[in-house]
Structure 1
């Protein structure tokens, strides 16, 4: 693009920003929709799709979504995993009455859910040959497998073999399998076999740093011993070549910062939810930035490029902070990382001079960002 073209855009943007200050112009940016690595939204419904679009990898319950809705997410650049419950069954599922004869007892803290005898072939065939197939036929990229912990609660070879049979059946589809929790089973399988290749591709471990007070469903911090136990477990899985995800339940900025540092040190991925029911929209401060969109000076909108839209977003954020500022109501609002990236004029703090510096950079009036 030549300098005259850039100058025309600068003038147009300046005029529009001036009108925003007067309150009568809606600015639009080219900010990338996908900003974060991973979000778990098991409580989401189709109407929540716009609130999940900022996340690269999305975990949903595909039984609540159509094939076309999932296809739309994938076409817009998302990787979609679906929840599947292999070790228990919830009362609201349409198939609860059919398989309630195989239930083993109430799931503690989830009164509408029952553990299932996974050694029963009828249950195994239902999960692998019917339910998983229906979910995968909707086009999801993998399965988020819950309640392998049935082996922790009913610790015998029949249950171990049942979990193994189901997991191998899921892997038989050639899909990506994330086990949620399941440390007792996974450690046992690894000890017996020396690897995890036949049963899983990744581990999602809940509550490594955070904890849930089940008396009132409030969030707290994990004990040091429990945290160390789960960190050792994550290391075991990682050392065996599998991906590791952390799912935390916390609103605490200090806890989230500890999670962030731990995952950065170990190459793990995280999401910290502010709700126990994992609804959308996600908690921005608990969302891990895309690894490719973090430290590009001038990239205020986190689209992996420095262009006029970054200067425009900075001006929007300053002119209308309630909508476009950090935590603003518009989905294209500037983020905390965007503020860091956009602060390029050599003086701490985001101002109109940062937008001007980006414009000067685009005109090649300055060679590098940030200014020294």
Structure 2
């Protein structure tokens, strides 16, 4: 009888291990879902690094997402441009610099303006009060569009202010700015990582479709990301609409280099799969 009981207990233990193993395998490393419907976001579970726009979520909702097993919740924060749907757009319209190509509801902003820097600082602090774990900062590409010392220093001022909150900072895009900042050794200990969109894929905005990026363009980003890795930055990739063949290439490349990736099949970043 005891042998049967021992066998039974061993079987239960084995089943628990298997279930835990399956759960661990299901846990996704990285998802960027800043365009996902609010109700759908609240159902997300077991994501190691989840990027949302926390401006539209309460402190209680962030706590709920953490309770769902989402480990690191980063908030999107646009530091280099402003969307016309933001409540305070009219207040900052006069410091916009120009239209944002392919994004009709967005304008580049003069990040050197002290009012803008104060806005970003205040927004970062409000987001932190909701319980987020870090920041996903977008549109440092304003420096690519307007390559002046004032714009560069404006971005650096913003980063230094946010860094005072002692939370991880991931820069989305901004390769021209990041390259210059690495050259000047200006972001060591400030920026945690970079997220690069469309290394292997490209977006055809006119037809709202996706394709494979040409080899020469891909090579540029691979060299850039290798530089970021050498500098000590964590590297993330966000790809769009990759087919099965490209998915395998992306996975193999990231595994070789220790990079983390997400493949979205929606330009709006509103679908988990």
Same fold (TM over 0.5): yes
Question: What's the counterpart of residue 253 of structure 1?
Answer: 244
Question: What's the counterpart of residue 232 of structure 2?
Answer: 241
CA contact 2:44–2:68 (8 Å) conserved in 1: no
SS in 2 for 1:111: coil
Structure having the higher Rg? 1
CA contact 2:42–2:65 (8 Å) conserved in 1: no
CA contact 1:45–1:64 (8 Å) conserved in 2: no
**Mapping 1:180-199, distance limit 5 Å:** 180-193=172-185, 196-199=187-190
Question: What's the counterpart of residue 102 of structure 2?
Answer: 109
Q: Aligned partners of 1:244 and 1:232: how far apart in 2? A: 12
Question: What's the counterpart of residue 39 of structure 2?
Answer: 47
- Structure 1's unaligned 5+ residue stretches are 14-28, 284-372
**1:46 positional shift:** 2.9
Deviations 1:317-356 (A, max 9, x none): xxxxxxxxxxxxxxxxxxxxxxxxxxxxxxxxxxxxxxxx
CA contact 1:180–1:205 (8 Å) conserved in 2: yes
- Find out whether 1:277 has 2:268 as its counterpart: yes
Question: What's the counterpart of residue 207 of structure 2?
Answer: 216
SS in 1 for 2:104: strand
Aligned residues: 263
Q: State TM-score, norm by structure 2.
A: 0.91
Question: What's the counterpart of residue 349 of structure 1?
Answer: none
Q: Aligned partners of 1:170 and 1:100: how far apart in 2? A: 23
Question: What's the counterpart of residue 154 of structure 1?
Answer: 146
More strand by share: 2
CA contact 1:41–1:59 (8 Å) conserved in 2: yes
**1:51 positional shift:** 4.7
Match of 1:230 among 221, 231, 247: 221
**1:165 positional shift:** 0.5
Q: State TM-score, norm by structure 1.
A: 0.67
Question: What's the counterpart of residue 171 of structure 1?
Answer: 163
Question: What's the counterpart of residue 66 of structure 2?
Answer: 74
Structure 1 runs (4+) greater than 4 angstroms displaced: 5-10
Q: Aligned partners of 1:7 and 1:88: how far apart in 2? A: 58
- Find out whether 1:85 has 2:89 as its counterpart: no
> Structure 1 residues 42-51 or 236-245, which shifts more?
42-51
Match of 2:6 among 2, 8, 17: 2
Match of 2:88 among 89, 95, 104: 95
**1:8 positional shift:** 8.9
SS in 2 for 1:110: coil
SS in 2 for 1:232: helix
- Structure 2's unaligned 5+ residue stretches are none
The alpha-carbon distance between structure 1 residues 8 and 133, as it changes in their structure 2 partners (threshold 3 A), is closer
The alpha-carbon distance between structure 1 residues 170 and 9, as it changes in their structure 2 partners (threshold 3 A), is closer
CA contact 1:219–1:249 (8 Å) conserved in 2: yes
Question: What's the counterpart of residue 265 of structure 1?
Answer: 256
Q: Aligned partners of 2:27 and 2:174: how far apart in 1? A: 30
CA contact 1:46–1:69 (8 Å) conserved in 2: no
Deviations 1:114-133 (A, max 9, x none): 000001001001101x1111
CA contact 1:82–1:144 (8 Å) conserved in 2: yes
